[in-house]
Structure 1
Amino acid sequence: MTEPNPAPLVDVHEALHAAQVVVFALATLAELRDSDTESHLIRVQQYVRALCGELQKNPAYADTLTPAYVETLAGSVPMYDMGTVGIPDRILLKPGRLTPDEIAIMRTHTTLGHDALVRAEKTLGRASPLLTVAKELALCHQEKWDGTGYPKGLWAEQIPLSARIVALADVFDALISNKVYKDGVSHDRAVQIITEGRGAHFDPAVVDAFLEVHEVFRSIAVRHADTNADMQQKIEYMANAIAEVAVL
C-alpha cells in the first residue's frame, strides 16, 4: 500500500514574506484612494529606519528601539493609514477645503483603522502581539506632542513612540511630495517646517534625530521618487472617482 505523500512543510520565512506582500498590496490600494502613491510607503518606511538608527544613540530610547522593534515598526508602516478606505470619496478626494462636518468624518480614519484590526483579532480568536505597533500607528499617527492632535488629544509621551516617529516621517513626505492638486516644497523648506514644529507637532527628540539625518531623508526621497507612471495612475484614478461622485 502506497503511503500518501506528506504535506509539504511551510517555510516560515516564505510565509512571513507572503504575509508582508499581502499587507503591502492592501495598503497600496488604500493609498490609491488617497493622494499618495505606493512609493510613499517605501519612503516612509526608510525614513522611519533612519530616525530609529539615530534615536538608538539616545539612552532614553536605546532600550525600546531594539532591532526586533525597529523591524516590527518598519513592517507596520503600510498599515498606519489603512482607515482611509472607510472615508467616502466625496471627502477623501475633495479638491477644495473640507467643511467642519467633513473634517470630523475624515478624522475617523484613525479609529476606523485601529478598530478594524481589533475586530479582526477578536474574530480570529486572539490578539496578536505583533499587531500592537500597527494598532498604535493606525490610532495615534495624527496625535501631536502639544495635545492638539486627534482622535484622543494625547500629548507628549502619552503618544506611543511608534506614532511619534511615523508622524514626522509622514509629514515630511507629505511636504516634499507632488500631489495631483499641489506641488511639494523643497527639502530645505520641509526641514524648516519640521524644525518649527519641534515641541508642538513633534516630539523634540525625534526632531533632533531628524536634523542629524535629514540628508539621508533627501537621498531616500530622490531614490524612491514618484515616477511619471505613478502620477498618471493617480491622476486617472482621481479623475474617474470625482466623475463618479459628480454623477451621484
Structure 2
Amino acid sequence: MKILIVDDSATDRMIIESMLEDYHTLTASDGLEAMQLIETTPDIDLMILDLNMPNMDGFQVIQSLKNNPKYSSIRIIILTNFDEIDNEVKGLKLGAVDYIRKPLNIESLRIRIDIHLKLKEVQKKVERDNERLDSMVLKKTKELIATRDITIHALVGLLEIRNIESHNHTIRTQKIMKMLCEHLKKKKEYKDILTDHYIKELVTTTPLHDIGKVGIPDNILLKPGKLTTEEYEIMKNHVNYGVKALENDLYDDEHIPSFIKTAIEIVGAHHEKYDGTGYPLGLVGESIPLPGRLMAIIDVYDALMSERVYKPAYGFSYTIEYIKKESGKHFDPKIVEGFLEIKDEILEISKRYVQELVKEEA
C-alpha cells in the first residue's frame, strides 16, 4: 500500500511519516509537488492532504484528481484546522472520504488510515474479481457466438449440399442486407431501430431465410418447370418447417435469445406481402416484422437476378422495374425507396459475386 502525505508543514509530514513507517510513504510540500508525484507514481492508494497550502491548495488537488478518471481510486483524507468546518464539508463534497483536524491526534489518524486502507484492499479485491468475471463472460460470449455461427453455417450447408442455394447467394444476400440496413439507419424512422447490434443480427441470420426448404421433396424443390397448385402449397410449407427448426421448447418468449427471435422473424415473414396477400399468415403492412420486410425485397431481387432451375436470370433493369411496380403491394414502400437509392451499389454486389462463382466453376 502506498500513502502520499501532502502538507506544507515539515513537522506534520515528519510526524505522519514516522507514524506510518510500516507503510510505503511518499511526501510532498504542496499541491504542485503532489500532482507531479501522482503522475510518476500512479499506484498511490491513499492521500493525506492538507487543505491550506501555497502554490496549489488541497481543494485544487482534489478537483484535479476528480477531473481525471485514472486517479479516481485514490482515497483522500483531508487535514483541516479545528475551526474549519466549512472547509471539511467542501472537501468531502469534492470527493474526500474522511477528514482529521489539526493539531493531529495521532492515534485517531492511524485508526482512520487503517480503516481506509482495509476498505481500499476490499475495493481492489472486488475489482480483481470483476475483471475475472468479465474475462469469463467474454470467453463464454465468444464461445456462444462461435457456436451460433457454426450452427448457422451447418444449417446453410444443408441447403448448399442439396443444390438448393449456392454459396454466393448466401454471401450476396448478407452483403445486401448489411448495405440496405446501413443506408436505412440514416433515415429518421430507422435510426433508433437499426442499431449496430441489430444490423449484425440481421446479417448473421439472413442465410437462414430458406432453411425450411430442406424439408421439401426434391421433385418439387428442384422441379425445372412451373409448380402445380398442389406442389406450390407443399412448397409454402418451407416457412413453417424453418420456424419449427429454430423454435426450442426450452425457451419461453421472454428468455429466447434475440438472434433466434430475429432469425424466426426472417424465416417466418419473408414471404409475407405488404398488401396482405402473402403467406403463411397474410400479415399486412408494418404488422409484418421488419426482418421479414427487409428479407422479402432482398430475396426477390437476388432470385430475379440469378439463374434458377425453373427460370433464367433476368436483367437488372427488369428487376428494378418489378420492385418499383410491387412497392406497396409485395414490398414496404419505405424500404423500396431506400433500396432504389442504393441500387447501383447493390448491383455491384451482384456483379462481383456472380463473377466469383464463374471463376470457381471454370
Query: Above 0.5 in TM-score?
Result: yes
TM interval, short-chain normalised: 0.7 to 0.9
Which residue of structure 1 lines up, in the alignment, with residue 264 of structure 2?
135
- The superposition leaves residues 83-132 of structure 1 with CA deviations (integer Å, 9 ceiling, x where unpaired) of 001111111111222222111111011111101211xx215786322210
Amino acid in the other structure paired with 2:288: I
Unaligned runs of 5+ in 1: 1-8, 233-248
> What are structure 2's unaligned runs of at least 5 residues?
1-135
Larger relative strand fraction = 2
Looking at CA atoms only, which structure, 1 or 2, has the larger radius of gyration?
2
Q: What pairs up with 1:41-60 in 2 under 5 angstroms?
A: 41-60=170-189
Task: Tell me how far 1:19 sits from its aligned partner.
Answer: 3.2
Displacement of 1:176: 0.7
1:85 aligned to 2:206? no
Q: 1:73 aligns with which of 177, 189, 202?
A: 202
Listed as ranges, the matches of 1:102-117 within 5 Å are 102-117=231-246
* Partner Cα distance (1:34, 1:204) in 2: 33
1:165 maps to which residue?
294
Deviation at residue 34 of structure 1 after TM alignment = 5.1
Segment of structure 1 superposing worse, 26-35 or 37-46: 26-35
Aligned to 2:340: 211
Q: Which amino acid letter does the alignment assign opposite residue 193 of structure 2?
A: T
Question: TM-score normalised to the size of structure 2?
Answer: 0.57
Alignment partner, residue 122 of structure 1 = 249
For the pair 1:61 / 2:197, whether they are aligned, the reply is: no
Deviation at 1:193, TM superposition (A): 1.0
| 8 Å contact from structure 2 (residues 159, 165) kept in 1 | no
Given residue 193 of structure 1, which amino acid in structure 2 is its aligned partner?
Y
Q: 1:223 to 1:25 in 2, by over 3 A?
A: farther
The superposition leaves residues 162-204 of structure 1 with CA deviations (integer Å, 9 ceiling, x where unpaired) of: 1101110111000111224432111122111111111111000
> Equivalent residue for 1:29?
158
Kept after mapping to 2: 8 A contact 1:35/1:179: no
CA distance in 1, matches of 2:311, 2:278: 24
2:319 corresponds in structure 1 to: 190
Give the alignment's Cα RMSD to 1 decimal: 2.2
Alignment correspondent of 1:221: 350
| Residues 138-182 of structure 1, C-alpha deviations (whole Å, 9 max, x = no match) | 111100001110000001001001110111011100011122443
Would you tell me which structure has more helix in proportion to its own residues? 1
Measured at CA, do residues 162 and 75 of structure 1 come closer, stay the same or move farther in structure 2, by a change above 3 Å? same
User: What's the TM-score, normalizing by structure 1?
Assistant: 0.82
Deviation per CA, 1:26-77, whole angstroms, max 9, x where unpaired?
A: 2132244354311101100111111111211221111110111000011111
Counterpart CA distance in 2 for 1:22 and 1:13 is 14
Higher normalized contact order (CA 8 Å, seq sep 6+, divided by chain length): 1
Looking at structure 1, the residues matched to 172 and 213 of structure 2 have their Cα atoms a distance apart, in angstroms, of 19
For 2:303 and 2:291, the matched residues in 1 are separated by 18
Hey, what's the Cα distance between the residues in 2 that align with 1:143 and 1:124? 25
Describe the SS at the equivalent of 1:98.
coil
| Contact kept in structure 2, 1:167 and 1:202, CA below 8 Å | yes
